Structure 1
Amino acid sequence: MKLKKKLANKQVLVFLTILGPGIIAASAGNDAGGITTYAMVGAELQYKMLWAIFLMTFSLIIVQEMAARMGAVTGKGLSDLIREQFGVKSTFFAMLTLFTANVAVTTSEFAGIAASLELFNISKYVSVPVMALIIWLLVLKGTYQTVEKVFIAFSMLLLSYIVAGFMAKPDWSEVARHTFMPTVEWNSNFLTLFVGTVGTTIAPWMQFYLQSSIADKGITIKNYSYERIDTILGAIVADVIAFFIILSTASALYPHGITIESAKDAALALKPFVGTYAPIVFGIGLFGASVMAAAILPLSTSYAICEAFGWESGLDNKFEDAPVFFILYTVLIVIGACIVLFSSQLLVHIMLIAQVINGILVPVILIYMLKLTNNRRLMGEYVNSAIYNTIAWITVIFTIALTVLMFVFMFQ
Structure 2
Amino acid sequence: MVSREALAPVSVTRYRPGPAMLVTAAFIGPGTVTACASAGIGFGYALLWALVFATLATIILQNMAARVAIVTGQGLAEAILEAAANPALRWTIAALIFASLAIGNSAYQAGNISGTAAGLKLLGAGTLSPALLALATGLLAAALVVVGKPAWLEKLLIALVLAMSLAFIGGLAVIRVDWGAVLSGFLPRLPADSLFTAIALIGTTVVPYNLFLHAASVRGKFAPDAEGLAASNLDTGLSVTLGGLLSMAIVTMGAATAKLTASGAGPLDDIALRLESLFGMPARIVFALGLVGAGFSSALTAPLATGYVLAEMTGGANDPVRRTRIFKRTALAVVVIGTAFAFFAVNPVELILIAQSANGLLLPILAAFLLWVAARRQSLGAFANGPIANLLGCAVVLVCAGLGARLILRSAGLWP
- Corresponding residue number in structure 2 for 1:162: 169
1:51 to 37, 49, 53: 49
Shift of 1:105: 1.0
Aligned to 2:383: 382
* CA deviation string 1:291-325 (max 9, x = no partner): 111011011011112212344799xx77x762221
Distance 2:173 2:115 in 1: 23
Q: Per-residue deviation at 1:328?
A: 0.9
Write out aligned runs for 1:287-306 (5 A).
287-306=292-311
- 1:175 is aligned to 182
Question: Does the CA-based 8 Å contact 2:199-2:403 persist in structure 1?
Answer: yes
Structure 1 residue 186: Cα displacement: 4.9
- The answer as to whether partners of 1:61 and 1:232 remain within 8 angstroms in 2 is yes
- Mapping of 1:318-357 within 5 angstroms? 322-343=324-345, 345-357=346-358
Instruction: Supply the distance in 1 between the matched residues of 2:323 and 2:306 (Cα, whole angstroms).
Output: 18
The counterpart of 1:20, out of the listed 18, 21, 46, is 18
**Which secondary structure state, in structure 2, belongs to the residue aligned with residue 221 of structure 1?**
coil
Conserved? CA contact 1:101–1:357, under 8 Å: no
Structure 1 residues 5-51: Cα deviation after superposition (integer angstroms, max 9, x where no partner): xxxxxx999854xx421122123201011111111010101111011
Which sits farther off after the overlay, 57-66 or 123-132? 123-132
2:46 and 2:191 in contact (8 A); partners too: no
2:325 and 2:267 map into 1 onto residues whose CA distance is 36
Output the TM-score relative to the length of structure 1.
0.89
Aligned mates of 1:183, 1:276 — CA distance in 2: 34
Distance change in 2, residues 1:360/1:259 (3 Å): farther
More deviation in 202-211 or 217-226?
217-226
User: SS where residue 121 of structure 1 aligns?
Assistant: helix
The Cα shift of 1:349 comes to 1.1
- Between 1:116-125 and 1:291-300, the stretch displaced more is 116-125
Q: 1:157 to 1:312 in 2, by over 3 A?
A: farther
Q: Point out where structure 1 has 5 or more consecutive residues left out of the alignment.
A: 1-10
CA–CA separation in structure 1 for the residues paired with 2:63 and 2:38? 29
Letter of the 2:133 partner, please give it: S
- Give the Å deviation of 1:221: 1.6
1:368 aligns with 2:369: yes
Match of 2:138 among 132, 141, 162: 132
Residue 105 of structure 1: aligned partner: 108
TM superposition shift of 1:247: 0.6
Counterpart pick for 2:237 among 216, 232, 236: 232
- Contact between 2:25 and 2:301, CA under 8 Å: does it hold in 1? no
2:7 corresponds in structure 1 to none
1:221 is aligned to 224
CA contact (8 A) 1:167 1:248 kept: no
Please give the alpha-carbon distance, in whole angstroms, between the structure 2 residues aligned to 1:322 and 1:245: 37
Q: Distance in 1 between matches of 2:15 and 2:248?
A: 27
Alignment deviations for residues 33-88 of structure 1 (CA, whole Å, 9 cap, x no partner): 11111110101011110112123222111111111111111111111112111223
Q: How does 1:28-39 map to 2 (within 5 A)?
A: 28-39=26-37
Q: How far 1:174 moved relative to its partner?
A: 1.1
Match of 1:4 in 2: none
* Aligned amino acid, residue 57 of structure 2: S
Give CA deviations for 1:210-248 in whole Å, capped at 9, x if unaligned: 001112x44332433222211110111000110111011
Aligned length: 392
Look up the equivalent residue of 2:353 and give its one-letter code.
L
| TM-score between the two structures when normalised by the length of structure 2 | 0.88
**Separation in structure 2 between the aligned mates of residue 35 and residue 20 of structure 1, nearest angstrom:** 23
Alpha carbons of structure 1 residues 311 and 334: separation in structure 2 relative to 1, 3 Å? farther
